[in-house]
Structure 1
Amino acid sequence: MSGNTGFDELFAEAPLMVILRGLGAERSLELAHKAWDLGITSVELPIQTPADVEALRVVADAGRAQGKAVGAGTVITPEHVRQAKEAGAAFTVSPGYDREIVGASIAAGLPPLPGVATATDVQLALRDGLTWLKAFPASVLGTGWFTAMRGPFPQVRFVATGGMDASNAQPFLDAGVRVVAVGSALADETQVDRLAALLKPAPRPGR
């Protein structure tokens, strides 16, 4: 088993990711293009149904054409890893830490982003060579969790997922989160624009 430092490059351009869950191919592609156009380069599509897998295939194809990484989410079985690989995903995301899924993903050439919620989870992941981890559910864990984890685990880069939106993303980024991932909040059509606004530098005093 090796690490997941591939996310250093995948998440280098913007500290945000959109999660397009159960939206179908057409709507997912529309929102993915909007996110990319606004500077949000990372997109995840959870794969829980055949329609989700087809949506992933469509968006991943479009992403490759633009040099954008599209990942498969809610990957919890070896079959999901296979489906993600065949659909053209660039990485996998899981809600929890499962060494079998991590190993299968690495073997398929897909950097894994497993979920953690405790110091024990983080320590186990580090033992397996992983430095990028999904903290889930981030809104329940709270910003203080990330501040606390920086002490014993300064080398870990966290992706905050679960209950995140444009209104609470900045405090988590300020707490040391490297990427904020927003999913269900995207039902609000203003979310992508509001998230993209976080990428713009704050105006200087007097401007």
Structure 2
Amino acid sequence: MANENDVHDRIIDSGVVAVLRGIDDAQIASVARAIHEAGVTAIEVTADGKRASEKIAAVDRELADTDAVVGAGTVLDAPTAQSVIDAGAEFVLAPDCNPEVVRTCNRQGVVSIPGVMTPTEAVTAMEAGADMLKMFPATTVGPDHIGALQGPLGDIDIMPTGGVSSDNVGDFFEGGAVAVGAGSAIVDYDAIAADDMAQVRETAATFVDAVESARSQ
């Protein structure tokens, strides 16, 4: 397992965290492999479905020979955080800000990325020791909200998630994002249903191209 600083840096280097939600056990490792081959280094498996820990462990095993970092998302409480960390999660995301989740990650040396919307939530997360902030849902407030948070709070790492697409990802990076989280914009669920991993890879690569283009501006 990579150390906390290395995981943090790999997420930023990737520029995007691909969110895998509701994918069955038989396919999730293949999907993760295809998305990694498309150029995504950071892969999130959500913890809001059945057998989440087993899926995280399966993806971790599948990508053990790569530079990928595997994390867990939708982690709402400390026991769930501990469970996914035990399964191999190297970073933990949430849609909300729960200081106990952040503190659990800190004790285990795992990157924590709680969800925030307001300055109060951002300060709460930072005081608990969060490594990065997940601005969620991003399209509700838009790219300018990144700078609005950073203005009074300083140079904090913000990852917009929720509605980020190839069409608007450039706006979020221009607004100050260090990375973005993406679900259906990068994970092709129709292709997964057809067991077409080549198309899964192609769809993910299209989003990666949009991210790379945005970051090169």
**TM-score (norm. length: structure 2):** 0.82
Identify the structure with the greater helix proportion: 2
The one-letter amino acid paired with 1:160 is P
Question: 1:52 and 1:175 mapped to 2: Cα distance?
Answer: 33
CA deviations over 1:111-159 (Å, ceiling 9, x no partner): 2110100011112222233351111000111112112223112321111
Query: What's the counterpart of residue 151 of structure 1?
Result: 151
Q: Which aligned pairs between 1:27-46 and structure 2 lie closer than 5 A? A: 27-46=27-46
Q: Which aligned pairs between 1:116-155 and structure 2 lie closer than 5 A? A: 116-155=116-155
Question: 1:133 and 1:37 mapped to 2: Cα distance?
Answer: 26
Q: Could you list the runs of 5+ residues in structure 1 that have no partner in the other structure?
A: 203-207
Cα displacement (A) at 1:175: 0.9
Query: What's the counterpart of residue 197 of structure 1?
Result: 209
Q: Which aligned pairs between 1:11-90 and structure 2 lie closer than 5 A? A: 11-90=11-90
Percent identity of paired positions between Structure 1 and Structure 2: 26
Partner SS state of residue 51, structure 2: helix
CA deviations over 1:31-71 (Å, ceiling 9, x no partner): 22122212210000011233332211100122222131000
Query: What's the counterpart of residue 205 of structure 1?
Result: none
The one-letter amino acid paired with 1:193 is A
Partner SS state of residue 18, structure 1: strand
How many residues align? The count is 199
Q: Could you list the runs of 5+ residues in structure 2 that have no partner in the other structure?
A: 192-201
- Note the aligned Cα RMSD (angstroms): 2.1
Cα displacement (A) at 1:164: 1.6
Q: Is residue 81–residue 92 contact of structure 1 (8 Å, CA) maintained in 2?
A: yes
Cα distance change on mapping 1:29 and 1:165 into 2, 3 Å: farther
Cα displacement (A) at 1:7: 4.9
Partner SS state of residue 63, structure 2: helix
